[in-house]
Amino acid sequence: MCKYLVTRRGIIFGGMGMVLSSCVRSEDWHLSSAFRGDPDRSPRYRRQEVAYNGGEAPGTIVVNTSERFLYFVESGGRATRYGVAVGEEGLSFKGVASVGRKAEWPSWKPTEEMMQRKPRLIKYADGVPGGPLNPLGAAALYLYQGGQDTMFRVHGTNAPWSIGQAVSNGCVRMTNESIVDLYRRVPVGSKVIVI
């Protein structure tokens, strides 16, 4: 008997996952996450309100790359903490920036440096349109310094299982549910500190 047994049930459930993941609005990502690993269900990386004594003003975003957490600072010594994936060793942005622009379902195009490091990305040189299969996920916050795009982003991901790891090309990844929540709370001009 063949070791790769395809059943009618497998085809139906697989098809449901494809249908759900291809036609979900950003606020409905919880529907499709049932078919993929969802780190928001892990107590460690789940979005939650926590005590925060970092001293930054409310509205500041602080990304702690070694902890794999992003903090949205709120008043009264509190913050909303989100689990994130960060850049591979040597690729992470560090420093102070601001949110220069925001986009829902952004398109993505690898940089020249990314394609040099990872030639498999050359096939995406013309870009990938926004949508559930796009690496930037449901939304993106574009980090700027001195009015110039740093080419680093805080964005959603179509690989939610990567949360908690150092795997990206330098950007900060969040689950789509988390980036949608943060996106709604953060205006353009917000301060971002990456440590």
Dihedral of alpha carbons 57, 59, 60, 62, sign: positive
Which residue(s) pair with 163 in the sheet?
none
Given 2, 23, 30, 171, the catalytic residue: 171
Q: Is 171 a catalytic residue?
A: yes
- Phi, then psi, of 92 in degrees rounded to 5: -80, 145
Specify whether the CB–CB gap between 103 and 140 falls below 8 A. yes
Tell me the three-class secondary structure of 146-191, residue by residue: CCEEEEEEEECCCCHHHCCCEEECCCEECCHHHHHHHHHHCCCCCE
- Phi, then psi, of 101 in degrees rounded to 5: -165, 165
Rounded Cα gap, residues 23 and 5, in angstroms: 28
- DSSP label at residue 92: -
Given 2, 23, 30, 155, the catalytic residue: 155
SS3 80: strand
- Single-letter amino acid, residue 89: E
Q: Is 30 a catalytic residue?
A: no
Residue positions annotated with a catalytic role? 155, 171
